[in-house]
Amino acid sequence: MDLTFTAAEEEFRSELRAWLSAHIPAEWRRPGFWESLSDEESFGLRRDWERDKALAGFAGIQWPTEYGGRGGTPGMKAIYDVEMVLADAPRTVNPLGLTFLAPTVMAIGTDAQRKEIIGPMLRNEVIWCQGFSEPGAGSDLAALTTRGVRDGDDFVVNGQKVWTTNAVHGDKIFTLVRTTPGSQKHRGISMLLIDMHQPGVDARPLKQMSGASEFGEVFFDDARVPATDVLGAVDEGWRTAMLLLSFERGASGMSQYTEFRRQYDEIAAVAKKLGRDRDPVIRGKLARVLTELECLRLHAMHILTQTEQGRDLGFEASMTKLQWSEASQDLWEVFDDVLGEDVTLEELDDLDLTPFNAQAMWSRSVTIWGGSSQVQRNVTAERVLGLPR
């Protein structure tokens, strides 16, 4: 058992810490600061800050230097994830690109694609959207109907995507499109990399239950994409998509633990302030959530160990998703119990509850996106336990 990081990894931690402490304005750490900004303002600030961070060498931690990354270890990536949370660093504006597209491009993209996509993504010159879900194709992604028809050197795309995170900020969208007319299910789909700044693409915001508009819908009306802008092979898009989704796996468990543990401490502080920390029912519920969060931390250490050993985690990603998303949702349900009759208030005594409420609302989404809890349970039951379909 060795729960430490290497000297080089700890050295990286110090450098990163120093940079973060010098480059995050105190005001940004004030509770409620980000919630007080418009989507537009928040996005702009974060976009620029993240670019500066990339230019300072703190981006693409695990990717090769020749593509603009830092060439670090999985341990450094884990440290990076945790330190970003501890420093109250702004949330990334390019989550879909960084989490999903970049590793897929590194794995199966052409060399030209690696050069064109990775560096500009790290510097936020290109904000990426993920165009998978459609009105008729959510959990059943293979029911998608957006189609692309070959026309000379281009595909001409028609259809609609929905729930697209960052739709109105997006520059490009990696999109699942049916490129073989009349094909069924998983066949005949390609992953096209479509420029969103063209007349054939219309992105509109959708307002979420939280009041924010982080996602939206994207309409394709004779949108054009060069036939070379396919990731993976033409008509092999399902395979590309499965690879891409596999990168959700537990790599971020450590930072999620750090984030949720902070939220736990904040909720505990509210409970104390309200004298609710003496209620044995509340104590039991908080402890139950803390147990799950500690398990998440250990699970993240397990995932990191397996990654460092070069093992494929396969369908274990579903377990990771279930553990973190269900635990964080439970945590915010306990917050409701802590507030009791004052739940839904925006202010209590001198306490601004809006940042808490925003998190509580967000917690309803985490068991839906990235494969709902029900879908993850199906995967776990069928692929891991081997129960019949």
Partner 1 sequence: MFFALTEDQQEFGSAVRTYLAERFDLDAVRAYFEAPATNDAGNLDGLWKAAGEQGWLAVTVPEEHDGLGLGLVEAQVIARALGAGVAPGPWRGTVLAAEAIRLAGSAEQQARWLPRLATGEAVGALGYSRSVEYGQTADVVVTPEGLLTGFTATPVGSYDRTTRLARVEGGSTEALPGDASSLEARATVLVAADLVGIAREALTRTVDYDKEREQFGVPVGSFQAIKHALADLHVGITMAEHAALYAAHAVDAGLDDADLAVSVAKAKASDVALASTAAMIQYHGGIGYTWEHEAHFFYKRAKRLAGQYGTADAHRERIAALTL
Ligand X SMILES: Cc1cc2nc3c(=O)[nH]c(=O)nc-3n(C[C@H](O)[C@H](O)[C@H](O)COP(=O)(O)OP(=O)(O)OC[C@H]3O[C@@H](n4cnc5c(N)ncnc54)[C@H](O)[C@@H]3O)c2cc1C
Taking the CA atoms of the chain, what radius of gyration do you get in angstroms?
A: 22
Please choose which of partner 1, ligand X, none residue 152 contacts, taking the beta carbon within 5 to 8 angstroms, the exact cut-off set by kind.
none
Is residue 378 within the footprint of ligand X (CB under 6 A)?
A: yes
CB 268 → partner 1: shortest distance, Å? 5
Is residue 374 within the footprint of ligand X (CB under 6 A)?
A: yes
Amino acid at 226: P
Is residue 210 within the footprint of ligand X (CB under 6 A)?
A: no
Q: How far is the C-alpha of 234 from the C-alpha of 232, rounded, in Å?
A: 7
CB 263 → partner 1: shortest distance, Å? 13
Out of 234, 313, 368, 381, the residue judged to bind ligand X by CB under 6 A: 368
- Contact 87/24 with Cβ under 8 angstroms? yes
Unique residue bearing structure tokens 């998608």: 144
Please choose which of ligand X, partner 1, none residue 1 contacts, taking the beta carbon within 5 to 8 angstroms, the exact cut-off set by kind.
partner 1
Out of 124, 146, 164, 328, the residue judged to bind ligand X by CB under 6 A: 164
Three-state secondary structure of 170-219: CCEEEEEEECCCCCCCCCCEEEEEEECCCCCEEEEECCCCCCCCCEEEEE
Separation in Å, CA 382 to CA 246, 286, 315, 376, 377:
17, 32, 10, 10, 8
Q: How far is the C-alpha of 134 from the C-alpha of 218, rounded, in Å?
A: 9
Is residue 190 within the footprint of ligand X (CB under 6 A)?
A: no
Is residue 220 within the footprint of ligand X (CB under 6 A)?
A: no
Per-residue burial over 332-368, b = 16 or more CB atoms within 10 Å of its CB, e = otherwise: bebbebbbeeeeeeeeeeeeebebbbbbbebbebbbe
Has 27 been annotated as catalytic?
no
- Judged by CB under 6 A, the chain residues 100 through 159 that form the site for ligand X are 130-133, 138-139
What 3-state class would DSSP assign to 128? strand
Count of residues that interact with ligand X, criterion CB under 6 A? 18
Q: How far is the C-alpha of 82 from the C-alpha of 95, rounded, in Å?
A: 16
Please choose which of partner 1, ligand X, none residue 80 contacts, taking the beta carbon within 5 to 8 angstroms, the exact cut-off set by kind.
none
The catalytic residue among 9, 10, 35, 248 is 248
DSSP single-letter state for residue 236: B
Is residue 215 within the footprint of ligand X (CB under 6 A)?
A: yes
Residues in the site for partner 1, rule: CB under 8 A?
1-5, 75, 78, 264-265, 268, 271-272, 277, 280, 283-284, 286-288, 290-292, 294-296, 298-299, 301-302, 304-306, 308-309, 319, 322-323, 374, 376-378, 380-382, 384-389
Structure tokens at 8: 């080089």
Is residue 96 within the footprint of ligand X (CB under 6 A)?
A: yes
Please choose which of partner 1, ligand X, none residue 272 contacts, taking the beta carbon within 5 to 8 angstroms, the exact cut-off set by kind.
partner 1
CB 367 → ligand X: shortest distance, Å? 8
74-86 and 253-273 helices, crossing angle to 10°? 20
CB 244 → partner 1: shortest distance, Å? 23
Q: How far is the C-alpha of 57 from the C-alpha of 188, rounded, in Å?
A: 40
Is residue 219 within the footprint of ligand X (CB under 6 A)?
A: no
Please choose which of ligand X, partner 1, none residue 133 contacts, taking the beta carbon within 5 to 8 angstroms, the exact cut-off set by kind.
ligand X
Please choose which of ligand X, partner 1, none residue 132 contacts, taking the beta carbon within 5 to 8 angstroms, the exact cut-off set by kind.
ligand X
CB 251 → partner 1: shortest distance, Å? 13
- Judged by CB under 6 A, the chain residues 319 through 358 that form the site for ligand X are none
CB 276 → partner 1: shortest distance, Å? 10
Is residue 163 within the footprint of ligand X (CB under 6 A)?
A: yes
Please choose which of ligand X, partner 1, none residue 199 contacts, taking the beta carbon within 5 to 8 angstroms, the exact cut-off set by kind.
none
DSSP single-letter state for residue 5: P
CB closer to partner 1, 35 vs 277:
277
Question: Would you list the DSSP string of 49-107?
Answer: HHHHHHHTT-SSTTS-GGGT-----HHHHHHHHHHHHHTTPPPPS-HHIIIIIHHHHHH
Catalytic residue IDs: 248
Q: Which residues bind ligand X (CB under 6 A)?
A: 96, 130-133, 138-139, 163-165, 215, 365, 368-369, 372, 374-375, 378
